[in-house]
C-alpha cells in the first residue's frame, strides 16, 4: 500500500511504499530534512521521530544536515546539490516553504528563496507495487540566474558504525565490475564526464554498514535515470554521518535558464531493502519492469547478430547465409550490424551517410529482409545516429553540425566526431532519416550504438552552450520516443560500444541493452553479476560467440557459453558458417531449452548464488551453475538455493528427482561439475 500523508503540527510528510517508509520534515529555518528512510512507519511512529537535529557544535561546523537538497546558503559546507548565482552575486537558496501538493503517490514540496523571485520544487513519487521512491527537482526563476549545479536529490541514511559503498567500475569490454569498498571519511565522487553514462562508472550505488550480504543486512540504494554526463558525491563526515547528492552534468558546467523557464532534473530513484543486496536488486528489477520499461510484458526474442562473424565485411550473400543458419538454430530476430550503408567498409568512413551501400546490396535491403522474414525471423539494423566520420558526405556538407570549439582541434576517437543533437536542425535530420528507414524497410528492431565520448563540447556563438550536454540527451530520448510512437512494432537495443549507455533513462525507451563487447563467457559471469545489481535479466543481451573467443583467446565449451548467456536475453553472435554440424545442432537444442526457461529467466525473480544464479517464476525455478577452471582438492560444494518454500518439494523436470525446499536451501543442490568450464542448467517445478 502506498500513501503520502502530511502532519501539519510537526510539519512532516510520511511516504509509504508497500514495504518501506520515508519521512521529510521542515527544520525551523524551513529547510527540508530527511528524518527516516527505512522500514514502514505508522503515522504515530513518524510523528514521534526526533525533530531535525540542530547541527554545528562549533563556529566551523555545518548548521545543516540530512537536507533533501543541499544549498550553499548559510553555514553549509557539504557538497552542494543546488548552486545558483543571482544577479548582484548572491549565492545559495534561503528556504521559505510555500506549500505542498499531494496527488495520489506524487508529493510536491514548494519553496521559494527568501529574497529572490526563485522557486524550487522537490518532487517525490511512490507506487502501489514498488518500493522505489522517485525524486526530482524543478527550478523556476523570474530573474536571470546562473546554475552551477542542480541535482535531482540528496539522500541520507541513518548513522551506522561503518559505511560500505557498492558500485561498478570498468572500461570498454570490462564494464559493470562490481566493487565493494569502505567509504573514506571525506568525499567520494562517482561521475561520467563523457557525455554518456559510461563504461567506467554507472549511476547507481548501494550503501550498507559493512555487514550486509546477498541475503541479509540493510541496504540503501540509488540510481539516476540519465544517459549523459552525471555526478554523484558521497560525503562521510568526521562526525560519522553519510549522505550523497547526485544529478545530471559534471562539475564545471554552467547553465542559464531563461526567466520563467522550468528547469527539470532527471529522476533520482532510491530503494531500501532490509535483507541484503539480493533483495535490493530484486526491488530494482521489479521497479524497472513495472515502471520503467516500455514493453516489460514481452518475451525478448533470441537474436542473431553477425558483428563478431564478419565485422565490416557485410554483404547480402554472407548475411543470407548466416540468416539461414541462425533460423536453423531457432533464432527469432536477425540483426545486421555495422557497415550496410554509405561508404562504410571500415571504421574510417561513411558514418552519417545513411543510405544503403549499393555495392554490397545491389537491389537494396528488401531482398535480405524478405529472406529473413521468409525464414520466420524479425529483422533488425544497426545504427549510430549521433556520430559522423569526417570522411562522409554528411560531414563535407555540414562540418558545423559536430560538437566543436573554434579555437580547438576536433579530437577524433574511432575516426569519428559527435553530431550536436542539441541543434534542432541536426536532431530533426536524424529523426527524419530514421523514420524513413523504419517506414520503408520493414525494420523491426534498431541497435542504437554510440561509440565515442564527447570532446570539444561547444556550440560556437551560443552564450549558454553547456546546455548541449543536457539537450543532446533529451533529443536522443525524444527521437526514440517519437520513433516508438510512430512505429509501435519497433524495438530498440541501447548500445554504446557495449554497455556504455545502461541506465534507467535509456531503459524507459528501449527494450534491452547490449551488455558488453566482451562475449567471453568466463569474463561475462562477472560482468553480468555487476549488471544484475540494478538491471533485470530481460534487458541483459547476452550472445553465445565463437571459441576461442576473438577478444580474449579463451576456449570454453559451447554448453558453458550457452549456460552463461541463458542468464539474460539469449542471442547468438558467432560465425555460424564455421560451426560444425554437431555444434549447430547442439546450439539448436540449447536454444530450444532456453525458450522453455525463458519466461522464468526474463519474468522471474533473481537470486545470485555462490557459483550461479537462480530464477523463480510461479512454481518454476531455473538454476544456472558455472564452474571456472577446476583445481584438484577444491571440490565445489552443493549449490545452496535461496528464496524457496522450505516446506515445498521440487521436482527436477529433467531427471524426475524430488528435492525438499528446506534441504535445497540448507544442504544445497548436488551438481556434478567436473573439469574446466563445466556448467549445468537445472529446471525445477514445485510439486
Ligand atoms: C560497438 C558495438 O558494441 C558492437 O557490438 C558493434 O555494433 C560495433 N560497435 C559496430 O561498429
pLDDT for res 52: 86
Ligand 1 proximal residues by C-beta, below 6 Å: 307, 337-338, 382, 449, 451, 495, 497-498, 514, 517
Give the position, in ligand 1's atom list, of the atom nearest the Cα of 305: 5
ω into 548 cis (within 30 of 0): yes
Substitution site in 514, 516, 518, 543 for ligand 1 pocket (most atoms within 8 Å of beta carbon):
514
CA of 451 to the centre of ligand 1 (A): 8
Substitution site in 516, 517, 541, 543 for ligand 1 pocket (most atoms within 8 Å of beta carbon):
517
pLDDT for res 54: 75
Substitution site in 497, 500, 519, 527 for ligand 1 pocket (most atoms within 8 Å of beta carbon):
497
What single DSSP character describes residue 186?
Answer: E
Q: Which residues pair with 11 in a beta bridge?
A: none
Helix (H) or strand (E) holding 583: helix 581-603
Substitution site in 339, 380, 451, 571 for ligand 1 pocket (most atoms within 8 Å of beta carbon):
451
Residue nearest to atom 1 of ligand 1 (CA): 497
CA of 338 to the centre of ligand 1 (A): 7
Q: Residues 6 or more apart from 91 whose CB is under 8 A from it?
A: 72, 73, 83, 84, 85
Give the position, in ligand 1's atom list, of the atom nearest the Cα of 496: 3
CA of 497 to the centre of ligand 1 (A): 5
Dihedral, 394, 400, 405, 410 alpha carbons, nearest 10: 20
CA of 53 to the centre of ligand 1 (A): 52
Which position has the grid cell 533520482?
A: 268
Residue nearest to atom 11 of ligand 1 (CA): 338
Length of the chain: 687
Residue nearest to atom 2 of ligand 1 (CA): 497
Residue nearest to atom 10 of ligand 1 (CA): 338
pLDDT for res 399: 98
Substitution site in 335, 337, 502 for ligand 1 pocket (most atoms within 8 Å of beta carbon):
337
Which position has the grid cell 558514418?
A: 351
CA of 336 to the centre of ligand 1 (A): 11
In the structure grid, which three cell numbers stand for residue 632, read together?
584438484
CA of 347 to the centre of ligand 1 (A): 10
What's the CA gap between 572 and 251, in Å, rounded? Answer: 41
Give the position, in ligand 1's atom list, of the atom nearest the Cα of 307: 6
Edge-first strand order for the sheet with 12-16 is 3-7, 12-16, 20-26, 32-39
Residue nearest to atom 6 of ligand 1 (CA): 307
CA of 496 to the centre of ligand 1 (A): 8
Alpha carbon separation from 225 to 49, 201, 457, 530, 682 (Å, rounded) = 31, 14, 22, 18, 35
Instruction: Select from 38, 32, 39 the least CA-distant residue to 11.
Output: 32
CA of 384 to the centre of ligand 1 (A): 9
Residue nearest to atom 9 of ligand 1 (CA): 497
Give the position, in ligand 1's atom list, of the atom nearest the Cα of 514: 3
CA of 417 to the centre of ligand 1 (A): 16
pLDDT for res 633: 81
Burial of 158 (0-12, 13-18, 19+ CB in 10 A): middle
What's the CA gap between 650 and 657, in Å, rounded? Answer: 8
Alpha carbon separation from 52 to 27, 29, 338, 653 (Å, rounded) = 6, 11, 56, 56
What's the CA gap between 269 and 125, in Å, rounded? Answer: 9
In the structure grid, which three cell numbers stand for residue 433, read together?
532519416
CB 517 within 8 A of CB 483: no
SS3 content of the chain, % helix, strand, coil (to 5): 20, 30, 45
CA of 570 to the centre of ligand 1 (A): 17
Give the position, in ligand 1's atom list, of the atom nearest the Cα of 447: 7
| Ramachandran bin of 583, using left for φ above 0, alpha for ψ from -120 to 50, beta for the remaining angles | alpha
Q: What is the DSSP string of 242-285?
A: EEEEEEES-TT--B-PPTT-EEEPPPEEEEEESBHHHHHHHHHH
Residue nearest to atom 4 of ligand 1 (CA): 497
Q: What is the mean pLDDT of each run of 10 residues along the chain (687 residues)?
A: 94 98 96 97 95 80 89 92 98 97 98 98 98 98 98 97 98 98 98 98 98 98 98 95 97 96 98 98 98 98 98 98 98 98 98 98 97 98 98 98 98 98 98 97 97 98 96 98 98 98 98 98 98 98 98 97 98 98 98 98 98 98 95 88 98 98 97 94 98
pLDDT for res 584: 98
Count Cβ neighbours within 10 Å for each residue of 592-614 and write b for 16 or more, e otherwise.
Answer: ebbeebbbbbbbbbbbbbebbbb
Instruction: Select from 270, 267, 246, 241 the least CA-distant residue to 52.
Output: 241
Q: Which residues are catalytic?
A: 449, 517
- Other Cβ atoms within 10 Å of 662 Cβ, number: 14
Amino acid at each position: 500500500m502506498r500513501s503520502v500523508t502530511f502532519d501539519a503540527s510537526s510539519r512532516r510528510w510520511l511516504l509509504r511504499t508497500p514495504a518501506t517508509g520515508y519521512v521529510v520534515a521542515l527544520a525551523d529555518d524551513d529547510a527540508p530534512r530527511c528524518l527516516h528512510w527505512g522500514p514502514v512507519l505508522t503515522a504515530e511512529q513518524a510523528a514521534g521521530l526526533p525533530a531535525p537535529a540542530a547541527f554545528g557544535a562549533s563556529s566551523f561546523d555545518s548548521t545543516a544536515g540530512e537536507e533533501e537538497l543541499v544549498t550553499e546558503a548559510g553555514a553549509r559546507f557539504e557538497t552542494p546539490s543546488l548552486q545558483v548565482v543571482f544577479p548582484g552575486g548572491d549565492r545559495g537558496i534561503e528556504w521559505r516553504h510555500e506549500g505542498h501538493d499531494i496527488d495520489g503517490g506524487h508529493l510536491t514540496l514548494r519553496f521559494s528563496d527568501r529574497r529572490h523571485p526563485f522557486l524550487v520544487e522537490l518532487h517525490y513519487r511512490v507506487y502501489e507495487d514498488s518500493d522505489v521512491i522517485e525524486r526530482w527537482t524543478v527550478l523556476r526563476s523570474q530573474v536571470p540566474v546562473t546554475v552551477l549545479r542542480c541535482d535531482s536529490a540528496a539522500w541520507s541514511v541513518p548513522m551506522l558504525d561503518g559505511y560500505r559503498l557498492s558500485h561498478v567500475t570498468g572500461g570498454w569490454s570490462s564494464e559493470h565490475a562490481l566493487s565493494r569498498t569502505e567509504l573514506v571519511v571525506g568525499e567520494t565522487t562517482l561521475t561520467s564526464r563523457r557525455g554518456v553514462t559510461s563504461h567506467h562508472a554507472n549511476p547507481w550505488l548501494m550503501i550498507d554498514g559493512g555487514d550486509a550480504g546477498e541475503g541479509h543486512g540493510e541496504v540503501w540504494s540509488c540510481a539516476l535515470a540519465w544517459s549523459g554526463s552525471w555526478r554523484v558525491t558521497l560525503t562521510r563526515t568526521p562526525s560519522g554521518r553519510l549522505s550523497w547528492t547526485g544529478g545530471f552534468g559534471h562539475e564545471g558546467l554552467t547553465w542559464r535558464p531563461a526567466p520563467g523557464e522550468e528547469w527539470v532534473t532527471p529522476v533520482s530513484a532510491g530503494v531500501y531493502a532490509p535483507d541484503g543486496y539480493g533483495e535490493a536488486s530484486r526491488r530494482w528489477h521489479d521497479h524497472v519492469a513495472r515502471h520503467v520499461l516500455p514493453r516489460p510484458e514481452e518475451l525478448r526474442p533470441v537474436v542473431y547478430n553477425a558483428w563478431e562473424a564478419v565485422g565490416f565485411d557485410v554483404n547480402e550473400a554472407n548475411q543470407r547465409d548466416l540468416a539461414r543458419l541462425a533460423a536453423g538454430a531457432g533464432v527469432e530476430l536477425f540483426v545486421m550490424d555495422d557497415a550496410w550503408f554509405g561508404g562504410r567498409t571500415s571504421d574510417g568512413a561513411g558514418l552519417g551517410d545513411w543510405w544503403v551501400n549499393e555495392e554490397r546490396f545491389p537491389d537494396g535491403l528488401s531482398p535480405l529482409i524478405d529472406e529473413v522474414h521468409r525464414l520466420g525471423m524479425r529483422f533488425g539494423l544497426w545504427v549510430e545516429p549521433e556520430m559522423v566520420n569526417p570522411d562522409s558526405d554528411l560531414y563535407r556538407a555540414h562540418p558545423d553540425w559536430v560538437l566543436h570549439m573554434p579555437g580547438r582541434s576536433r579530437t577524433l576517437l574511432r575516426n569519428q566526431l559527435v553530431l550536436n543533437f542539441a541543434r534542432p536542425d541536426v536532431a530533426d535530420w536524424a529523426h527524419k532519416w530514421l523514420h524513413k528507414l523504419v517506414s520503408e524497410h520493414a525494420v523491426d528492431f534498431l541497435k542504437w550504438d554510440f561509440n565515442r565520448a564527447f570532446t570539444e563540447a561547444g556550440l560556437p556563438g551560443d552564450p549558454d552552450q553547456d546546455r548541449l550536454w543536457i539537450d543532446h540527451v533529451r533529443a536522443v530520448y525524444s527521437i526514440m520516443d517519437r520513433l516508438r510512437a510512430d512505429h509501435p512494432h519497433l524495438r530498440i537495443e541501447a548500445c554504446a560500444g557495449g554497455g556504455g549507455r545502461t541506465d534507467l533513462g535509456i531503459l524507459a525507451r528501449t527494450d534491452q541493452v547490449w551488455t558488453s563487447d566482451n562475449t567471453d563467457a568466463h569474463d561475462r559471469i562477472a560482468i553480468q553479476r555487476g549488471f544484475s545489481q540494478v538491471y533485470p535479466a530481460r534487458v541483459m543481451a547476452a550472445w553465445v560467440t565463437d571459441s576461442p573467443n576473438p577478444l580474449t583467446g579463451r576456449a570454453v565449451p559451447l554448453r558453458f557459453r550457452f549456460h552463461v548467456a541463458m542468464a539474460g536475453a539469449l542471442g547468438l553472435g558467432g560465425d555460424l558458417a564455421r560451426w560444425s554440424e554437431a555444434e549447430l545442432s547442439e546450439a539448436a537444442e540449447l536454444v530450444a531449452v532456453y525458450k522453455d526457461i525463458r519466461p522464468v529467466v526474463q519474468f522471474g525473480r533473481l537470486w545470485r548464488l555462490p557459483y550461479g544464479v537462480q530464477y523463480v517464476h510461479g512454481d518454476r525455478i531455473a538454476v544456472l551453475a558455472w564452474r571456472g577452471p577446476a583445481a584438484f582438492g577444491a571440490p565445489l560444494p552443493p549449490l545452496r538455493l535461496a528464496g524457496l518454500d522450505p516446506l515445498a518439494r521440487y521436482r527436477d523436470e529433467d531427471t524426475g528427482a524430488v528435492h525438499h525446499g528446506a534441504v535445497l536451501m540448507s544442504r544445497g543442490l548436488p551438481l556434478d561439475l567436473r573439469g574446466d568450464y563445466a556448467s549445468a542448467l537445472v529446471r525445477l517445478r514445485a510439486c
